Amino acid sequence: SVRQLLFPLLVTALFVPYFKRSARVKNTFVNP
């Protein structure tokens, strides 16, 4: 149904900014 499509989009929308932020923090730790 619609909910089966909406839930992965919601999870992706929540995880993408977190993943980008963690990648940016990792880069700053590697290159201070």
Q: What is the reported pLDDT for 12?
A: 93
Among the listed residues 27, 3, 29, the one whose alpha carbon sits nearest the alpha carbon of residue 11: 3
Give pLDDT, residue 10.
94
- How far is Cα 24 from Cα 31, in angstroms, rounded to an integer? 10
| Residue ranges of domains in the chain | 1-31
Q: What is the pTM of this model?
A: 0.49
Q: What is the pLDDT of residues 1-32, one digit of tens each?
A: 788 889 999 999 999 988 888 888 888 877 76
